[in-house]
């Protein structure tokens, strides 16, 4: 969320490795995923996002978040500027990586970017599966995007699904996706016609 907290995370990483940060992949343009970017970006670091990231970040700038405690006491900067924006799947293979960057549907934002680590059978999905549509009290996200994101995960069939927030990784597992699809699909199929009829 802030450069101060990102510097703390980087210091913890540096106790494990001195490897350079070559890439920062932004899964979407929300404050809690880009606010600390300045602490991670250095010479030789390439920041990658999906096309449409700038529009989503502008929406984040214009929203007045109700949960102030969530942002901490540090300086939150929402001036993230990617070096590259992609709009089709790409592969990063430098330095032993085997990452596939996949523009994806999402229940939260229109600029979702999934990161598939094929070497380790992981899929990072950012906040595509929050327990609500969009950020709280912000007009964004769609049920159609949510359902399509579930289908993309099922099609990619990773061994492990990693979300942008730890509780979601524990609860919204790969094994939970078929049931989630069926339950939310049934809810959607009932709710939309009922809302139209009302």
**Mean model confidence pLDDT for the chain:** 90
Q: What is the pLDDT of residue 115?
A: 98
Tell me what pLDDT residue 40 has: 92
Predicted pLDDT of residue 1: 79
Distance, in Å, from the CA atom of 108 to the CA atom of 184, rounded to the nearest integer, reads 15
Measuring CA to CA, how many Å separate 176 from each of 15, 126, 188?
A: 35, 17, 18
Task: Count Cβ atoms below 10 Å from residue 36 Cβ, excluding itself.
Answer: 26
Q: Which residue has the tokens 């049931």?
A: 179
Q: How confident is the model at residue 100 (pLDDT cuts 50, 70, 90)?
A: very high
- Reported pTM: 0.90
Is the pLDDT at 153 greater than 70? The verdict is yes
Host H or E run for residue 25: strand 23-25
In order of 84, 178, 181, 186, 198, the CA distances from 193 in angstroms are 41, 23, 18, 12, 9
Q: How confident is the model at residue 160 (pLDDT cuts 50, 70, 90)?
A: very high
Residue 120 pLDDT grade (very low, low, confident, very high; cuts 50, 70, 90): very high
Looking at residues 152-160, what average pLDDT do you find?
Answer: 97
């Amino acid at each position: 969320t802030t450069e101060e907290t990102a510097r703390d995370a980087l210091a913890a990483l540096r106790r494990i490795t001195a490897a350079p940060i070559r890439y920062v992949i932004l899964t979407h343009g929300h404050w809690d995923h880009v606010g600390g970017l300045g602490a991670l970006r250095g010479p030789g670091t390439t920041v990658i996002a999906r096309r449409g990231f700038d529009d989503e970040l502008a929406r984040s700038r214009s929203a007045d978040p109700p949960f102030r405690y969530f942002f901490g006491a540090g300086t939150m900067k929402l001036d993230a500027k990617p070096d590259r924006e992609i709009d089709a799947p790409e592969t990063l293979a430098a330095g032993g990586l085997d990452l596939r960057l996949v523009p994806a549907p999402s229940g939260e934002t229109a600029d979702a970017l999934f990161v598939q680590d094929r070497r380790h059978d992981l899929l990072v999905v950012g906040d595509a599966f929050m327990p609500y549509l969009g950020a709280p009290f912000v007009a964004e996200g769609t049920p159609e995007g949510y359902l399509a994101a579930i289908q993309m995960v099922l099609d990619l069939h990773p061994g492990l699904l990693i979300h942008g927030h730890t509780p979601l990784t524990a609860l919204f597992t790969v094994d939970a996706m078929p049931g989630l699809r069926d339950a939310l699909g049934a809810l959607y199929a009932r709710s939309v016609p009922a809302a139209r009829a009302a």
